[in-house]
Structure 1
Amino acid sequence: MKTIGWMSGLIGVVLISQSVMALPTTEAVQPSSIAGRWQGTFNDKYPMSFLFSPEGKLVMVFGMNGAEPTVLAGTTVNYKVDATTKPMHLDITIPDAKEPVLTIADLPDPQTLQIQMSDTNPGKPRPTKFTDQTKMQKVSDRAIEPLDAAKFTQAAQSSEAEGRIVMQALAQSALFSTVESGKFPTTLEELGLPTNNTANYRYQLQTQPKQITIIARPKKANLKSYISVVVTGTERKIDFATTTVCQSIRPSLFAPPLPRLGSPFAPNDSRAVCGIGSEAVKF
């Protein structure tokens, strides 16, 4: 994945330098209007999502294998924002960097966040104007993307799409929740799913010490089945979390085999390996 500025620093430093999950903040941060979960693309190509907590923790989730990723990886850093300036001053603390990344941010409207990403690195002067078009749209006020009545009804009306849409949302919310809190969610309700039993699917969440598994089993013989895992681990004394979703290649009433997730530390192994008879779903 081609990145520039502090984005490459995040992937190259945060995921390879030290443990950052549930990293404690060192300074009090006032709640700001940028708090919440945001989603967009970097360079109009690479998916990324940020969760700014009011306490100064920033959860960052990136696709690990290109512009149409099948694996997402998440970690946390600290941030500080000064909303009294225009544009806002945003400081991001990256592990092992002696100085923070100094950049600027703006809210063109309450649902849109613009962040200057190009030409920003630890120790570099803060930019004074926006030179790139990186904008993110607000997804939720918290880690979980609620599957509200309108969205869930829309997904359920398209029986073929329901499993994929719901499982993608559940996997991403589970990843954000796990990275933010340092522990796995234990119920589907925690992930914003109002019911685990729809006209088309039965949904199930299973917890284990190092991973959770989410399954969507269809009730109709003409629908595909789905499975997702969120995995945490420690490598080189680093904590990390990753997720993927696999679907059956053909309609099936049975869940696909458990997928295997490669390590985010190994670029050539950062993809999902779905079991026989299944394939990875693009986020």
Structure 2
Amino acid sequence: MTPIVLNFNQLKTASKFLAYNLLLVLPLTLETTVLAQRAIPPKPSISQTANSEADIIIKKLVGEWKNKNASGPDVNFFFTDDGKMFLMMVVSDQAVAYPLKYHVDATQNPMYMDIKLPDNPKPVLTIFDFIADGEMRMQIEGTNPGQPRPKNFSQDVSVFKQVSNSATLPKNLQIIDPDDANKSQPESLQMITLMNRSQQAYFLANGKFAKTLEDLQIGIKSESEDYLYRIIPQGKGNQSIVHTATAKKPDLKSYTGIVFTIKVKGKPSLDAAICETIKPTSKPPAIPKIPTKASQLVKCPSGSILLP
């Protein structure tokens, strides 16, 4: 399957809301797992008061909501009535969605929404309300997992318009499996993948790459039982950054990851790649050669291969 490349503008909007967490599992170059399209059936009526305030609000949320900012990227939300939520984007002419979970407290003013990210015990705490028929505003700017809930809407609050109240996800949608990236991967490959993705998120937030593991703030130590991990800055510019996983045992392979900027159809984008040594070695691959065109692949040095 052809990798999907997300450009700066799309991920800047996503990163405002979900910070590193979504970006770590939704890399700028990814292979999506396609799940069979299915209708999301309405849930049976809750045994509590059928017309409770929460039920009414959830019914109003069900469906697809489009970002009204005409100058912004096409990043939409899709809500179901059983606590599921999807972040939806159209990239490279392909609709993709990332699954999340949500909970609302309709007794507050403005109303509360908690959004649960995979593999993060701390939810994103935000506020929302309905401002017109079929329109909703939600505080996205400044919300991150573990941070306090905003008390008021800011001037740059995001406004969404409901474009569908159907409980069925759009057809031909590729749903990203957040667990797929880590299935059957050795520790070293998981760490290099995480470092690559974290650098992409860091670059979007700061306009530069992180030079140390401490700057990335993802909990990776420079040494484990089996590997040494390093970040290798590349000159004074911000065009690329290199990560290495150096094996400490003779039966293990070593890895080199690279994150770099590149133009896709004239727009600045980020991409990443990982080279794996063909044989076990305590020397990671040399710095890969990054492409000059989006249609080209990263070229790994002799003695190593480019991982898909």
CA distance 1:189–1:138, shift in 2 (3 Å)? farther
The aligned counterpart of 1:90 is 65
Asked if residue 106 in structure 1 is aligned to residue 79 in structure 2, the reply is yes
**CA–CA separation in structure 1 for the residues paired with 2:72 and 2:191:** 40
**CA–CA separation in structure 1 for the residues paired with 2:222 and 2:73:** 43
The aligned counterpart of 1:131 is 169
The aligned counterpart of 1:54 is none
After superposition, give the CA deviation of every residue in 1:198-251 in whole Å (9 maximum; x if it has no partner): 111111111122211111111111111110111125688643221111110100
CA offset at residue 61 of structure 1?
2.3
SS at match of 2:225: coil
**CA–CA separation in structure 2 for the residues paired with 1:223 and 1:165:** 14
**CA–CA separation in structure 1 for the residues paired with 2:219 and 2:75:** 38
**CA–CA separation in structure 1 for the residues paired with 2:72 and 2:225:** 54
Check conservation: 1:218, 1:224, Cα contact below 8 A.
Answer: yes
Matched length? 207
CA offset at residue 117 of structure 1?
6.4
SS at match of 1:260: coil
The aligned counterpart of 1:195 is 221
The aligned counterpart of 1:250 is 279
The aligned counterpart of 1:52 is none
CA distance 1:113–1:246, shift in 2 (3 Å)? farther
CA offset at residue 190 of structure 1?
3.3
**CA–CA separation in structure 2 for the residues paired with 1:100 and 1:238:** 13
**CA–CA separation in structure 1 for the residues paired with 2:32 and 2:178:** 20
Check conservation: 1:175, 1:241, Cα contact below 8 A.
Answer: yes
CA offset at residue 170 of structure 1?
1.3
CA distance 1:117–1:218, shift in 2 (3 Å)? closer
**CA–CA separation in structure 1 for the residues paired with 2:73 and 2:280:** 50
1:212 to 241, 248, 252: 241
Instruction: Compute the TM-score of the two structures, normalised by the length of structure 1.
Output: 0.55
The RMSD of aligned alpha carbons is: 4.7
CA distance 1:103–1:186, shift in 2 (3 Å)? closer
**CA–CA separation in structure 2 for the residues paired with 1:239 and 1:207:** 20
**CA–CA separation in structure 2 for the residues paired with 1:227 and 1:248:** 9
The aligned counterpart of 2:198 is 173
**CA–CA separation in structure 1 for the residues paired with 2:80 and 2:165:** 16
CA distance 1:100–1:259, shift in 2 (3 Å)? closer
CA distance 1:93–1:239, shift in 2 (3 Å)? farther
CA offset at residue 255 of structure 1?
1.5
Letter aligned with residue 275 of structure 1: P
Letter aligned with residue 172 of structure 1: R
CA distance 1:83–1:137, shift in 2 (3 Å)? farther
Check conservation: 2:243, 2:256, Cα contact below 8 A.
Answer: yes
Instruction: Compute the TM-score of the two structures, normalised by the length of structure 2.
Output: 0.51
After superposition, give the CA deviation of every residue in 1:4-31 in whole Å (9 maximum; x if it has no partner): xxx9xxx6xx75xxx74996x8xxxxx9
Letter aligned with residue 212 of structure 1: I
Asked if residue 274 in structure 1 is aligned to residue 300 in structure 2, the reply is yes
Check conservation: 1:83, 1:89, Cα contact below 8 A.
Answer: no
**CA–CA separation in structure 2 for the residues paired with 1:226 and 1:99:** 37
CA distance 1:194–1:236, shift in 2 (3 Å)? closer
Structure 1, unpaired ranges of 5+? 26-30, 41-47, 50-59, 69-81, 140-150
CA offset at residue 176 of structure 1?
2.0
**CA–CA separation in structure 2 for the residues paired with 1:169 and 1:100:** 25
CA offset at residue 101 of structure 1?
4.6
Letter aligned with residue 260 of structure 2: V
CA offset at residue 167 of structure 1?
1.0
**CA–CA separation in structure 1 for the residues paired with 2:211 and 2:75:** 37
Q: Could you list the runs of 4 or more consecutive aligned residues of structure 1 that deviate by over 3 angstroms after TM superposition?
A: 19-23, 34-40, 82-85, 97-104, 107-110, 115-120, 131-139, 233-238
**CA–CA separation in structure 1 for the residues paired with 2:225 and 2:2:** 42
The aligned counterpart of 1:232 is 261
SS at match of 2:28: strand
